[in-house]
């Protein structure tokens, strides 16, 4: 029966793709739709990206407990990682054509807003929660936190934060390296930031400075 269901599903989907798609407006959103052989309307909608992983296996109970703890922490810091990545990508777009001086002026204007929004909750994170938050961001943007800070704020600032983070056992220059911590890899695979961080408006409390213009 499962094979029959699979064959029928594939056949049904291939028929849908072959039919001409039209659009309709539902609550202000535009959706594609098709008409089936009976004349009924079938609305088509796209789902966000999904990650399918294999069953988790652990060598010991200690590994399992660490996985559960990391996973719990990851979902606790997820909102901060999502907002940080969204803001970072928007700032990149806004400052892409600015010279260094104007870019730094722009980011300084934004810094006070970010401080008001995030300083208190981030200071309350544990060492492990902070590490997971950094690795989530680094995995998504594909760069160590150190270089993100350096590009936006300057080498001295990046060096300062790299040195400070070293006291807590983390080096911002190291970045996320897959394979270094298999439990962390599992957790970051479970938490998909790619879709959420590209969708929707910026946090209501964050107002990006107006473009300073080209020099």
- 11-53 residue pLDDT tens: 344 444 444 556 766 665 666 777 766 777 777 666 555 556 6
pLDDT at 125: 82
Higher pLDDT, 62 or 107: 62
Identify the top-confidence range among 1-15, 27-41, 132-146, 156-170.
132-146
pLDDT above 60 for 213: no
- Which helix (H) or strand (E) is 35 found in, with range? strand 29-35
Phi and psi at residue 204, to the nearest 5°: -60, -30
Helix residue spans in the chain (DSSP H): 2-18, 61-95, 100-123, 127-141, 145-153, 155-166, 182-190
Average predicted confidence (pLDDT) for the chain? 71
Reading phi first (left if > 0) and then psi (alpha if -120 to 50, else beta), residue 58 is in beta
Mean per-residue pLDDT, 153-160: 68
Question: pTM for the full model?
Answer: 0.63
pLDDT at 29: 65
pLDDT at 202: 41
pLDDT at 152: 65
């Amino acid at each position: 029966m499962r094979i029959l269901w699979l064959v029928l599903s594939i056949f049904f989907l291939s028929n849908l793709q072959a039919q001409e798609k039209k659009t309709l407006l539902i609550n202000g959103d535009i959706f594609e739709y098709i008409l089936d052989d009976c004349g009924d309307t079938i609305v088509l909608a796209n789902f966000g990206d999904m990650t399918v992983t294999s069953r988790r296996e652990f060598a010991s109970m200690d590994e399992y407990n660490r996985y559960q703890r990391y996973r719990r922490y990851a979902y606790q810091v997820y909102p901060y990682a999502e907002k940080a990545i969204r803001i970072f990508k928007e700032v990149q777009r806004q400052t892409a054509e600015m010279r260094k001086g104007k870019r730094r002026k722009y980011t300084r204007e934004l810094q006070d807003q970010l401080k008001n929004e995030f300083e208190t909750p981030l200071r309350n994170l544990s060492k492990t929660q902070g590490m997971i938050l950094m690795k989530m961001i680094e995995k998504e943007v594909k760069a160590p936190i150190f270089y993100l800070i350096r590009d936006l704020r300057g080498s001295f600032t990046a060096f300062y934060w790299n040195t400070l983070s070293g006291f807590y056992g983390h080096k911002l220059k190291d970045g996320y390296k897959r394979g270094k911590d298999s439990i962390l890899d599992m957790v970051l695979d479970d938490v998909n930031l790619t879709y959420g961080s590209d969708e929707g408006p910026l946090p209501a409390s964050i107002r990006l400075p107006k473009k300073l213009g080209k020099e």
